[in-house]
A and B are shown apart, each in its own frame.
Chain A
Amino acid sequence: MNQPASLPAAGSAKLFLLPMMTLAQREVVRFLRQRTRVIGALVQPILFWILFGAGLRGSFKPPEWAASSMTYQEYFFPGVAVMILMFTAIFSTISIIEDRKEGFLQGVLVSPVPRISIVLGKLLGGTILAVLQAVLFILLGPLLNIVGLAPDFETGITLAGFLPLVLFLFLLGFSLTALGYLIAWPMESTQGFHAIMSVFLMPMWLLSGSFFPAGESGWLSWIIRANPLTYGVTGLRRILAPEAGLPSAPGNPSMSVCLIVTTVVCIIYVAIAVWMTLQRSTRNAR
């Protein structure tokens, strides 16, 4: 049984990819075995979409850059997809705190896995789940029209447009999962994470142009423009309505700006997450 020679040496490619994939797979399997989580992350945003859509229909005025016939539910649609990404990202990164408490994390940390594989594995798993749920919503959400719970509208997604959609959702999902990771990593308890969620993550989402459009000026407009998530929501809005050719406007940045900002922010989040994981700390031991 003792064959140390057959083990890959520290730093080899096999010790980078295999652990990353195995940790990602574990993330997906765990999530699917906890049914309440699946329901929570998917059903709550859909309920929001239906209820807010119905409640705010009368008072919604489409922003200047959009078609005047746009209903609130249409406007809100990309925002709900982003909410699903965010919720799933958060639920999967909250498990870092559980992993630490239950002891699984220390087992991973004493293994020769490069720390970057630990981070990327976790993020990859969370992102796969987030993208799957968001795609499910984007494809099935408009069908709620049949039972009268959604307006009659086209998402403008074609077969050719499907790949860019999935790629952009992946980028945004990866970024949000990385943000969740660097919030969860220093946390001692899941209660702490819930507090951060209500005072930071929910407002970040509300002020990203997903819930209501940014005005032309005023402090609210500036906050929305400074929020990195705005560029994710707008990017998704543009991909979902390619023919509409939405003009670039304040609070409605162009596709290239959306891509650049989302990518740069994602890289920064991941870099911080890797750096945090590299530190040996008392907290990681049980």
Chain B
Amino acid sequence: MLSKPQIQETALTSRIRVADISHRYGDRLALNQLCFDVRPAEIFGLLGPNGGGKTTLFRLLSTLLPLQSGTANIAGLDLASQAQQIRTLIGVTFQSPSLDGKLTVLENLKHQAHLYGISGAPMRERIENALQHLGLTDRRHDLAESLSGGLKRRVEIAKGLLHSPQVLLLDEPSTGLDPGARHDLWKYLKQLQHNEGVTILITTHLMEEAEHCDRLGILHQGELVALGTPDELRASVGGDCLTIHADHLEQLSDQISAKFGVTPQLVNHSLRLEHSRGHEFLKELIDAFPEQVTSVSLGKPTLEDVFIHETGHQFWQAEETT
């Protein structure tokens, strides 16, 4: 338990503080002793395959699920005992839209505003604003159930923003958005961050989306396996990444470790190597095994490489096994 001055201090340095959170569904451990902070006006991404625990954490922070163990603070308020106050401060965008299909876009937004105690002229102003920002102005009288997936998602985001939350929680926000809409969404999120100091926590399984975040936590099987800015994470891999394709992978792997003293990882029908001077190693490799190697690719590490580096799995493999 934190004492009062400590809590205030926490509020200054972090908007969201997660300490030692574990969560079980029956026998299955969905989250294992998670700890991290989200700083004020930061876009923090939780990256991981589906089933990695992102959504569970999202539900805990959005006050839907009760905390089983550990503590969490949002804006200095305790998640277990001050959920009601937290709810006024957070905006939540769910992965599956929480719209009422039998109501129009405008009606959905009106009800949402009323739930937060907003009515009359301020409500109309906020709704106008949100409709405009999300390009929904001409769809306002459409029934929500008649909208495409991407448009529903935009209405969902508008809902979460209506009450100008200080902290925005978004679960897989760009699912179902086309690239143009995705680009617009990120532009808007960055505006919110810079102009209004909104703190944003998003969950995602898309690498390209993770690149937009200021800092990332990589979640794998309920554990936080890496934490840092995208650049820091990539730097942690060390040097360049080589992906080698061959007919007899295991045999080649043994030969490589015998000759060069490095052991490649076998990932999804290819061999993977990290090397500080990749371009030189690539030449040596081809010279040494011209017959066995069918193709090699060389690149700077991506966030996917970070994931493989930390977990030994490829992203999509991890999704299948969990």
Contacts and interface: CB of A to CB of B under 8 A. Distances in A.
Contacts of A29: 102-103, 107
Contacts of B66: 280-281
Given A107-B92, A107-B94, A110-B90, A6 B122 contact: yes
Interface string A30-65: 100110000000000000000000000000000000
A9 interface: yes
Contacts of B103: 26, 29-30
Contacts of A114: 84
B255 interface: no
Contacts of B117: 7-8, 12, 14-15, 18-19, 112
Given A19-B117, A111-B115, A106 B94 contact: yes
Contact of A282 (B25, B110, B122, B166): B25
A108 interface: yes
Contact of A19 (B63, B64, B84, B115): B115
B102 A110 contact: no
A280 B66 CA distance: 6
A285 interface: yes
B87 A3 contact: no
A54 to B, nearest CB: 37
Contacts of A261: none
Contact of A22 (B63, B96, B102, B115): B115
Contacts of B62: 110
A26 B126 CA distance: 20
Contacts of A99: 100
A286 B98 CA distance: 9
B150 interface: no
A281 B117 CA distance: 25
Contacts of B197: 2
Nearest to B195: A2
B134 interface: no
Interface in B19-62: 25, 59, 62
Given A7-B116, A107-B98, A282-B65, A2 B59 contact: no
A278 B251 CA distance: 61
B263 interface: no
Contacts of A226: none
Nearest to A26: B111
Contacts, number: 118
A209 B94 CA distance: 48
Interface string A172-192: 000000000000000000000
Interface string A186-221: 000000000000000000000000000000000000
B252 interface: no
A102 B118 CA distance: 24
Given A9-B88, A107-B159, A112-B87, A26 B100 contact: yes
B119 A11 contact: no
B23 to A, nearest CB: 10
A107 B114 CA distance: 13
A104 B100 contact: yes
Interface string B111-137: 110111111001000100100000000
B114 to A, nearest CB: 4
Interface in A99-155: 99, 102-114
B176 interface: no
A159 interface: no
Nearest to A102: B101
A2 B164 contact: yes
A7 B118 contact: yes
A4 B115 contact: no
A277 interface: no
A29 B163 CA distance: 24
A109 B64 contact: yes
B257 interface: no
B84 A11 contact: yes
Interface of A: 1-4, 6-12, 14-15, 18-19, 21-23, 25-26, 29-30, 33-34, 99, 102-114, 280-282, 284-286
5 contacts: A29-B102, A109-B63, A111-B87, A112-B87, A280-B63
Q: Which 10 A-B pairs have the closest CB atoms?
A: A107-B98, A22-B114, A8-B117, A112-B87, A2-B196, A103-B98, A111-B115, A280-B66, A112-B88, A14-B117
Given A104-B100, A110-B90, A281-B66, 14 more contacts: A2-B197, A11-B84, A18-B117, A102-B99, A103-B98, A104-B98, A105-B98, A107-B92, A109-B64, A280-B83, A281-B65, A282-B25, A282-B65, A285-B65
